[in-house]
Amino acid sequence: MPLSDRALEDVLIVGAGPAGLACAATLLEASDVHVTVVDAGAGPGGQYWRQPAPTADPHGVRPEALRGLHHDLDTFESLRARLEAGRSAGRATLLTDHHVWTVVADGGTFTVHAVDRTGGPGRDRAVEIRARHLVIATGAHDRSLPFPGWDLPGVMTAGGLQALLKSGDVTAGRRVALGGTGPFLLPVAAGLAARGATVVGVFEANSPRRWLRELGPVAANVAKLGEGIGYAAILLRHRVPVRARTMIVEAHGRDRVEAISVVRLDTAGRPTTEAPRRIEVDAVGVGWGFSPQLDLPVTLGCALDPDAVGTSVVRVDDWQRTSRPGIFAAGEACGVGGAALAVAEGHLTAYGIVHELTGSVPEAAATLRRTMARLHAFASAMHRAHPIPAGWAEALREDTVVCRCEEVTAGTVRRAISDRGAPDARQVKQLTRAGMGWCQGRVCGHAVELLSGAAPAAPPERLVSTPVPLGVLADDWDDFGAM
The residues in 91-150 that bind ligand FAD, with binding defined as CB under 6 A, are 99-100, 137-142
Binding mask 324-353 for ligand FAD (x = CB under 6 A): -------xx-----xx--x-----------
Judged by beta carbon, residue 49 or residue 147, the one nearer ligand FAD is: 49
Candidates 224, 227, 143, 218; CA nearest to 179 is: 143
Please state the closest distance from residue 15 (CB atom) to ligand FAD, in A: 3
Minimum CB–partner distance for residue 250 and ligand FAD (Å): 24
Half-sphere exposure of 188 (CA within 13 A, CB side): 33
Of 142 and 250, the one with the shorter C-beta distance to ligand FAD is: 142
Paired residues of 93 in beta bridges: 36
- Stretches 37-45, 174-182, 277-285, 446-454: which one binds ligand FAD (CB under 6 A)? 37-45
Minimum gap (Å) between residue 53 Cβ and ligand FAD: 13
Does 28 help bind ligand FAD (rule: CB under 6 A)? no
CB of 151 to ligand FAD, least distance (A): 19
CA-based R_g, the chain, Å: 22
At a CB cut-off of 8 Å and minimum separation 6, what does 48 contact?
A: 17, 18, 71, 339, 342
The interaxial angle of helices 445-452 and 410-418, nearest 10 deg, is: 40
Exactly one of 11, 13, 16, 425 binds ligand FAD (CB under 6 A); that residue is: 16
Please say which residue, 11 or 38, places its beta carbon nearer to ligand FAD.
38
- To ligand FAD, the closest distance from the beta carbon of 355 in angstroms equals 21
Residue 47 or 412 with smaller CB distance to ligand FAD: 47
Do residues 437 and 405 make contact, with C-beta atoms less than 8 angstroms apart?
yes
Spatial contact of 130 and 111, defined as CB atoms under 8 Å apart:
yes
Nearer to ligand FAD, 100 or 302 (CB): 100
Binders of ligand FAD in range 152-191 (CB under 6 A): 159, 162-163, 184, 187
Q: In the complex with ligand FAD, which residue's Cβ is closer, 269 or 292? A: 292
- Residues 271-300 binding ligand FAD (CB under 6 A) are 290, 293
Contact partners, residue 113, CB within 8 Å, separation at least 6? 100, 101, 102, 103, 104, 126, 127, 128, 476, 479
What is the C-alpha to C-alpha distance for residues 168 and 322, in angstroms, rounded to an integer? 36
Q: How far is CA 308 from the centre of its chain?
A: 18
Shortest gap between Cβ of 395 and ligand FAD (angstroms)?
Answer: 24
* Rounded Cα distance, 303 and 71, in Å: 33
Q: Considering only residues 452-471, where is the footprint of ligand FAD by CB under 6 A?
A: 465
Nearer to ligand FAD, 299 or 452 (CB): 299
How many angstroms separate the CA atoms of 67 and 52, rounded?
A: 11
Produce one character per residue of 324-348: b if its CB has 16 or more CB atoms within 10 Å, e if not: bebbbbbbbbbbbbbbbbbbbbbbb
235/395 with CB nearer ligand FAD? 235
Closest approach of ligand FAD to the CB of residue 237, in Å: 19
Phi, psi of 289 (to 5 degrees): 90, -165
Q: Footprint of ligand FAD on residues 352-371 (CB under 6 A)?
A: none
Q: Which is nearer to ligand FAD, 264 or 369 (CB)?
A: 369
Nearer to ligand FAD among residue 390 and residue 463 (C-beta): 463
Sort strands 277-280 and 283-287 into parallel, antiparallel or unpaired: unpaired
Which H or E element spans position 116?
Answer: strand 109-116
- d(C-alpha 349, C-alpha 356), whole Å: 10
Assess 20 for contact with ligand FAD (CB under 6 A): yes
What secondary structure does DSSP assign to 220-278, as a single string? TTHHHHHHHHHHHHHHHHTT--EETTEEEEEEE-SSS--EEEEEEB-TTS-B-SSPPEE
In the complex, what is the shortest distance from the CB of residue 81 to ligand FAD, in angstroms, rounded to a whole number? 18
| Count of residues touching ligand FAD (by CB under 6 A) | 35
DSSP 125: E
Q: Restricting to residues 378-437, which ones interact with ligand FAD according to CB under 6 A?
A: none
Chain-centre distance for alpha carbon 163: 11
Q: Which stretch binds ligand FAD (CB under 6 A): 43-51, 79-87, 252-260, 303-311?
A: 43-51
Q: Within positions 186 to 215, which residues make up the interface with ligand FAD, using CB under 6 A?
A: 187
Q: Kindly tell me which of 40 and 413 has the beta carbon lying closer to ligand FAD.
A: 40
Binding site for ligand FAD (CB under 6 A): 14-20, 38-41, 46-48, 99-100, 137-142, 159, 162-163, 184, 187, 290, 293, 331-332, 338-339, 342, 465
